[in-house]
Structure 1
Amino acid sequence: MTICIYSEPLTVFTSGTPMRGLFGELIKQRSNDYFKLIFRNPYSENLNDYFKSLSELPNCEIVFEKYSRKFSNMLALAGYSNYNKVNYDGDVFISAGTPDIMGTDKKKQIVMVADLSSIRTPKNSSLKWHGNLIFRNSLKLAVEFALKIVCISNFTRNDLINIYPESVEKTAVVYNGIDNSWFDDIYEDFETLKSKFSIKDKYWIWWGAVTNRKNLWNLLKAYQSLINEGYKLPRILIIGNFAPNQIFVKDFIENELIDYVKHITFQNVYTLKTLVKNSGGLLFPSYYEGFGLPVIEAFSQGKPVMHSEDSSLPEIAGGLGINCDPYNIESIKYALLKMVELKDDENEILRRKQWASRFTYRNASLEFSKIIDEVMANDI
């Protein structure tokens, strides 16, 4: 069997990470199938090792379409149904992380949906206006033509069904996995990292791409309010890069909270894992998440998590975190104080680690493999 994977979504730095893990594992597991990874644009050099490792497998090749992603986006923006048509033959066609179909003539298609922020909360979406419109158009076509729509949480699945009730029979859930590195016993020297990043005291941690929907503004305002009220709180370590429309948050840190909040750029997984392991826990009061990888990553290290009560986060946290209303400063303040008062014991730490152990690339690929077999068994 030949499986064609539209692989442009795998090149996205952050959201593409769990998809790269899933499909890398899938290709290795299904060694009797042949995979074509289809691209429209060259991928960045920092992903060379990943794609090279896959192309060296005997059952995988990388191919490039004639027309660029920019051209297909223009067609999608205009509402053209075959905006992403590919010229390769296969038995199953999969869009790895987005609801892009690969031509209305391709009968057995599986598409993926991470979240519907482009539709539900456009102001919190990482996409611009044209990106939101392209997503709407592609999702509508996916509901019509795909045999299966795979969502990364029940929250996303229910959200999709609410908008497109006709999709209920073709939707499924495959949870994201986290990088295998989170489950090994390899760490960097924490004392060296403390010196490198000037870490002197206990700290809470946050990591990711700083966008509007991550809600750092309300988190920091709640934190500042508690500091001003005389509470002794751990400092906050923020790891990641700020989107252009979030520079005001960075300025607020530098002008108002310079002695309490430290920002560093993205780090490699072992540096990040070491910093998480030695933290007091994750603060993650996002407005909207289709999954929320940091929650599981923090749990893999046995760490407590404060998260919002909205979107997928209660589902992904499995009742093991501390909830807050992300729109309410007082609610966030209350959750921060609960984090301060939290007295961890070995049982709680173990419960978090056990919950996290369910979210692996292997488990995700096994579930996705079942969906491929189901689609192949569909006689059309």
Structure 2
Amino acid sequence: MTKTRIYINGRFLKASVTGVQRYAYELLRTIDQLIGRDDPAVRGYEFIVLAPTGEIHELGTRHIEVRQAGRFNGQLWEQISLPLLAKNGFLLNLCNAAPLFKRRQAVTLHDAAVYSVPDTYSSAFKMWYKLMFRTLGRTSPLILTCSENSKDELIRHCGIREDKIVVIYHGKEHVLQSGSAPDYPAQQGLDRPFVLAVSSRSPNKNFRSIVRAAELIGDQGFDFVIAGGTNPKIFKSEDAELGNNVRHVGYVEDEELRTLYDRASCFVFPSFYEGFGFPPLEAMACGCPVVVSDTASLPEVCGDAVLYCDPNSPEDIASKIAKVMQDPELQQDMTQKGLAQAAQFSWEKCAYETLGEVKRHAIGRYAEKVARSENRKAQA
């Protein structure tokens, strides 16, 4: 039996790993596992990742081929080479971008950030992604996204028909499978309880407010640990020194981040906007109590397992952090609720739902179209 070929846009293998790329890696690795055990969901299908030539990150799949081919790089490869390479199959694009003139394809649009937090991006970036989102929303038979909030915003901003956009939540097992680095906290001199934040260079992540919240709380016997991204000293207020209780540990490996989640007494995430929000889900999966913004998709992902804060109010952020840190019973209750909430999300569920939608909304409709065309030819 001839297998239906599904190509995957592998341009993400050239990029550093953020949440969008994390989704692509984990989804494909899970599909690879389904192939390995001959799961009915993947029978009759062949999966090939197409990537530009040159150095790429390792995908780590055993049953999904990674094929490097085509001229160009970057957007030119994606818009010109990729549709030619995938002309005899269906194309699945996982990272917010896809060739504009390919019809047999699906694309995951993770959020509408270029509309909702436009100051985060350059003018050229915004112009291109707005054009791409509107075009793909009109021409692609299936749009996937990761939250109802993102779905609503994509419909509103991009004019995508509601019947062609489907919400599929991400998973969290990657953080539990990463291993740990038990000596890391001691190496960083973390011998007191601490509040953890995972930083980024994006102003959307609102780490200025975390530093301000730390200033408001002062030294009450616990530290603030900020991992990754920009040194928080650049976010300090002009008339106040950054407190000695704020520690910036810089870039962390996955094992080190897992250990920080495990050891933290509280995780704080005051982001202004998220399409999904991996960090609070990862923290909950590790049993860490979470304080998170009451905005965008975060209430949808975190449910009633967290304390919510106003991201525009460092005073409210400080108040919620202090409440968690001063109440061990509350910490235990939030840990249990967080574990239960995180258990609702899995990469296997994400893979099954993605495969189902691709087959039903895209490949199935295309097959019906081909059959109708052949019937018309036969009748003529």
TM-score bracket, shorter-length normalisation: 0.7 to 0.9
> Counterpart of 1:276?
261
Alpha-carbon distance change, 120 to 257 in structure 1, aligned in 2, over 3 angstroms: same
Shift of 1:108: 2.5
Paired residues, what number? 352
Contact 1:299 1:355 in 2 (8 A): yes
Shift of 1:323: 0.8
1:162 partnered with 2:156: yes
> Counterpart of 2:374?
none
The 3-state SS of whatever aligns with 2:49 is: strand
Q: What aligned pairs does 1:91-106 form with structure 2 within 5 A after superposition?
A: 91-100=89-98, 102-104=99-101, 106=102
Structure 2: how far apart are the matches of 1:110 and 1:247? 43
Alpha-carbon distance change, 42 to 357 in structure 1, aligned in 2, over 3 angstroms: farther
The amino acid of 2:87's aligned partner reads: D
Structure 1: how far apart are the matches of 2:336 and 2:303? 14
Q: Could you list the runs of 5+ residues in structure 1 that have no partner in the other structure?
A: 76-81
Q: What aligned pairs does 1:179-194 form with structure 2 within 5 A after superposition?
A: 179-182=173-176, 186-189=179-182, 192-194=183-185
Contact 1:187 1:273 in 2 (8 A): yes
> Counterpart of 2:186?
195
Structure 2: how far apart are the matches of 1:197 and 1:173? 40
Alpha-carbon distance change, 129 to 247 in structure 1, aligned in 2, over 3 angstroms: farther
Contact 1:204 1:237 in 2 (8 A): yes
Alpha-carbon distance change, 181 to 214 in structure 1, aligned in 2, over 3 angstroms: closer
Q: Which has the larger radius of gyration?
A: 2
> Counterpart of 1:143?
137
Identity of aligned residues (%): 17
Q: Name the TM-score, length of structure 1 as normaliser.
A: 0.84
Structure 2: how far apart are the matches of 1:209 and 1:39? 27
For each residue in 1:294-349, what CA deviation from the matched residue of structure 2 results, as whole angstroms up to 9, or x when unmatched?
11111112111101111111111112111111112332232223223442365543
> Counterpart of 2:358?
372
> Counterpart of 2:12?
9
Shift of 1:262: 0.7
Contact 2:306 2:338 in 1 (8 A): no
Q: Name the TM-score, length of structure 2 as normaliser.
A: 0.84
Q: Could you list the runs of 5+ residues in structure 2 that have no partner in the other structure?
A: 35-41, 370-380
For each residue in 1:241-299, what CA deviation from the matched residue of structure 2 results, as whole angstroms up to 9, or x when unmatched?
229xx7722x769x822511111122222221112111111110001111111111111
The 3-state SS of whatever aligns with 1:344 is: helix
Alpha-carbon distance change, 195 to 133 in structure 1, aligned in 2, over 3 angstroms: same
Alpha-carbon distance change, 142 to 276 in structure 1, aligned in 2, over 3 angstroms: same
Q: What aligned pairs does 1:252-263 form with structure 2 within 5 A after superposition?
A: 256-263=241-248
1:38 partnered with 2:29: no
Superposition RMSD on alpha carbons, in Å? 2.6
1:69 partnered with 2:67: no
1:329 partnered with 2:314: yes
The 3-state SS of whatever aligns with 2:84 is: coil
Using the TM superposition, name which of 255-264 and 287-296 deviates more: 255-264
The 3-state SS of whatever aligns with 1:359 is: coil
The amino acid of 1:159's aligned partner reads: E
The counterpart of 1:234, out of the listed 219, 222, 228, is: 222
Shift of 1:62: 1.3
The counterpart of 1:128, out of the listed 118, 122, 126, is: 122
The counterpart of 1:25, out of the listed 24, 30, 33, is: 30
